[in-house]
C-alpha cells in the first residue's frame, strides 16, 4: 500500500506546463526570466548570509559550505543551484518539469558543475527515504503548488537536525495584486500573463500556521523590494509584496 505521502502530489499540472513551455529561456537574462535574473543577487546574498550564520562558516573562504548538503526545490533552470554549487554545497536540485531539468543539467555540464538534477518532487523524496539536507531552498515555489500546507510540511521533514530552510514567496495583499500581478504581468510585461494567481499568494502567518505542528522554528518575514530608479532589489522592512522566511530544525 502506498504511504500517505506518496499517495498525494504537490504538483499542479497547469503550473508545470506553463513553466515547461518556456524552459529554454531560463538562462537568457533578457528573456522571460529576466525578472529572476534581476532578483537573484538579493536572494543569493540572503541565502549566503543566513547559512554562514547558521553553520558558523567563514565568509572569506571561496567555498565556505563544503561538506553541507543543499536541496533546491523547484529549481527551474538552475539559477540558484549553480551559485550554491560554486559556494561548496553538495547540491541536489529537483523540479517537476522534465524540460526544466534538461535545461538545467545541460547548462551545469557546460559550466563544469556537478549538480544532482532530478525530475521529482519533495513528497517523493520524502517517501523514498532521502537523507536529510542541511539547507533547503524553497524559492518562489509554494505559490504554484496544489496543497501549500502539505507541501511545506513535507519540505520541513527533509531538513536535517540543525538545518535551515529558506522560503520565498508573495504576500496576498492588495499591494501585491497591484504590483506583482497586474503591474508585472499586464502593465510592465515583466512576466508572461498568467504566471501568478493572486489567490495563491500566501501571508506570512499562513506560512507559520502550516508549520505550527512541526518541530521547527520559523522567523521573518524579511521583505524584499524593487527600486525602479536603480533597477535593483534590496532587503526591506516592507514585506507587503515579496518576502522571505527562515525555517530551522533544532539540532538533535
CB count in 10 Å sphere of residue 8:
15
Pairing of strands 90-95, 69-73: parallel
| DSSP states along 45-113 | HHHHHHHHHHHT--TTSSSTTTT-EEEEET-TTTTTHHHHHHTT-EEEEEES-HHHHHHHHHHHHHTT-
Q: Known binding site: residues?
A: 43, 74, 95, 139
DSSP class of residue 251?
Answer: P
Distance of CA 160 to the CA centre of its chain: 18
| DSSP states along 187-250 | IS-SS-TTS--GGG---HHHHHHHTTTSS-EEEEEEEEEEETTTTEEEEES--SSEEEEEEEPP
Phi, psi of 156, deg, nearest 5: -65, -30
Q: Which residues contact 3 (CB under 8 A, 6 or more apart)?
A: 127
Q: Known binding site for S-adenosyl-L-methionine: residues?
A: 43, 74, 95, 139
What angle in degrees, to the nearest 10, is found between the helix axes of 98-110 and 13-20? 40
DSSP-assigned beta bridge partners for residue 169: 243
Distance, CA of 170 to CA of 104 (rounded, Å): 24
Amino acid at each position: 500500500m502506498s504511504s500517505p505521502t506518496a499517495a498525494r502530489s504537490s504538483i499542479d499540472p497547469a503550473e508545470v506546463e506553463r513553466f515547461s513551455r518556456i524552459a529554454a529561456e531560463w538562462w537568457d537574462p533578457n528573456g522571460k526570466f529576466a525578472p529572476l535574473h534581476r532578483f537573484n543577487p538579493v536572494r543569493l546574498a540572503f541565502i549566503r548570509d543566513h547559512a554562514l550564520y547558521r553553520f558558523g562558516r567563514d565568509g572569506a573562504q571561496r567555498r565556505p559550505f563544503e561538506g553541507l548538503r543543499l536541496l533546491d526545490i523547484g529549481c527551474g533552470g538552475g539559477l540558484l543551484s549553480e551559485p550554491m554549487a560554486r559556494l561548496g554545497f553538495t547540491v541536489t536540485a529537483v523540479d517537476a518539469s522534465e524540460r526544466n531539468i534538461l535545461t538545467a543539467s545541460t547548462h551545469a555540464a557546460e559550466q563544469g558543475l556537478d549538480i544532482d538534477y532530478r525530475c521529482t518532487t519533495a513528497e517523493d523524496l520524502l517517501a523514498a527515504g532521502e537523507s536529510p539536507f542541511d539547507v533547503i531552498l524553497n524559492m518562489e515555489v509554494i505559490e504554484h503548488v496544489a496543497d501549500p500546507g502539505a507541501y511545506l510540511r513535507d519540505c520541513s521533514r527533509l531538513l536535517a537536525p540543525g538545518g535551515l530552510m529558506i522560503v520565498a514567496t508573495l504576500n496576498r495583499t492588495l499591494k501585491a495584486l497591484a504590483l506583482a500581478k497586474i503591474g508585472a504581468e499586464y502593465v510592465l510585461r515583466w512576466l508572461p500573463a498568467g504566471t501568478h494567481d493572486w489567490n495563491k499568494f500566501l501571508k506570512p502567518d499562513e506560512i507559520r500556521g502550516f508549520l505550527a505542528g512541526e518541530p521547527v522554528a520559523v522567523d521573518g518575514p524579511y521583505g524584499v523590494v524593487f527600486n525602479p530608479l536603480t533597477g535593483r532589489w534590496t532587503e526591506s522592512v516592507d514585506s507587503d509584496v515579496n518576502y522571505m522566511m527562515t525555517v530551522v530544525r533544532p539540532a538533535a
